[in-house]
Amino acid sequence: MKNSILSLQKKTRGAAPVQEPFAPDPADTSALHVRDLTVAYYRKPVLWDVDLDVPHAVVAGIVGPNGAGKSTLIKAILDLVPHTSGTVKIFGQPYRRQRRRVGYVPQRESVDWEYPITALELVAMGLYRKIGWFRPVGQAYRKQALEALADVGMADLAHRQISRLSGGQQQRIFLARALVQDAEVYFMDEPFAGVDASTEKAIIEILQRLRADGKTVFVVHHDLETVRQYFDYLIMLNMRIVAAGPVSDVFTSENLRRTYGGRLTLLDRAVDAIGRTPE
């Protein structure tokens, strides 16, 4: 049923389009620029007045306690949740115009792993924008997806149904899907959650390679012990930005206490008051 319509496009199916080389404007080196970003669910703020200026070619960790708004920050940047106010710029341009330069790895639990697709088909999803509307996933693109699978050590499981993969393997193909997007800036939501040691190592190697290639990667992270080892830039978040900067500068016990330790109680009460309907 696919072929009848799609055979028309055979001619264009062969070669993947050539990527135009991307060089960030040297005058504007900030890969991500966020100003006054506020997100509220039903009036109650989840993120408040977030300002960020993150240089390119860094691996940036985003840490903070549960409910600090780490995932929300990523989703607000990617326009997946509406923000009440604020601007987001990627390499000096609004996100909407930079979509193809941005890759996203959602939380593993955000999708249904029983869905009837194979690892290869899942990875090829990262190429859908390049392939364009209405066209099937051609041979050249399948090859590209297969290479990305090999990159994360999953080539021999390419045709396995995704529910038959372990948690670590699922995370790897999620990563492979982001790699084929060939983006400049990546946002990864807890890629280390529930993975085995060898997958963690594989992910780290990929992050380092991306940085070496001049890419910028944002990683929502939970394990404070590995922060120094994995990241060179750190965003410490607890509804507001507590600190952001090179890990060596901001990863201090004082900032940790302010991020994780007792919340500012007066501020908490103010937040609650905003969420309540005035009497």
Partner 1 sequence: MIWTMLDTWIVVAAVLAGATCALVGSFLVLKKVSMMGDAISHSVLPGIAVAFIVTGTRSGTAMFVGAAVVGVLTAVLVHAINYYSRLEEGASMGVVFTVLFAIGLILIEQAARHVDIHPEHVLFGAVELVPLHLVQVFGFAVPRGVLMLLVVFAIDLSVIALFFKELRLATFDPELATTLGIHATYIHYMLMVLVALTTVAAFEVVGSILVIAMLIVPGATAWLLTRRLLPFLVVSVGVAVAAAVLGHIAAITVPPLFGYVDTSTAGSMATVLGCIFFVAMFCAPEQGIIARGFDVVRLRLSIGTQDVLGLLARAAERPGTDAGRLSASDLRTLRRSPFAARRVKLAAILGLLRMKGLIALRNGSYEMTVRGKEQGRQILRSHRLWERYFYDDGNVDMSELHPAADVLEHYTSARLGDDLSERFAGEYSDPQGRPIPDKE
Nearer Cβ to partner 1 (110/139): 110
Of 28, 36, 68, the closest CA to residue 52 belongs to 36
What phi and psi, each to the nearest 5 degrees, are found at residue 51?
-120, 130
89: left (phi > 0), else alpha (psi -120 to 50), else beta? Answer: beta
Nearer Cβ to partner 1 (174/192): 174
Of 82, 98, 71, the closest CA to residue 38 belongs to 82
Enumerate residues 168-207 that contact partner 1 by CB under 8 A: 177, 181
Cβ atoms of residues 50 and 37 within 8 Å: yes
Q: Residues 27-46: x/- map of binding to partner 1 (CB under 8 A)?
A: ---------------x----
Q: Which of 134, 229, 253, 279 binds partner 1 (CB under 8 A)?
A: 134
Q: Which of 137, 155, 243, 256 binds partner 1 (CB under 8 A)?
A: 137
Q: Looking at 3-11, 146-154, 202-210, 242-250, which segment touches partner 1 (CB under 8 A)?
A: 3-11
Q: Looking at 31-39, 51-59, 76-84, 148-156, which segment touches partner 1 (CB under 8 A)?
A: 76-84
Q: Which of 38, 92, 117, 226 binds partner 1 (CB under 8 A)?
A: 117
Q: Looking at 11-19, 53-61, 125-133, 262-270, which segment touches partner 1 (CB under 8 A)?
A: 125-133
Nearer Cβ to partner 1 (68/162): 162
Q: Which of 13, 92, 128, 153 binds partner 1 (CB under 8 A)?
A: 128
Q: Which of 47, 63, 88, 131 binds partner 1 (CB under 8 A)?
A: 131
CB of 23 to partner 1, least distance (A): 23
Q: Which of 84, 118, 208, 226 binds partner 1 (CB under 8 A)?
A: 118
Residues of this chain that interact with partner 1 (CB under 8 A) are 1-2, 4-6, 42, 75, 78-80, 99-100, 102, 104, 106, 110-112, 114-118, 121-122, 125-126, 128-129, 131, 133-137, 161, 163, 177, 181
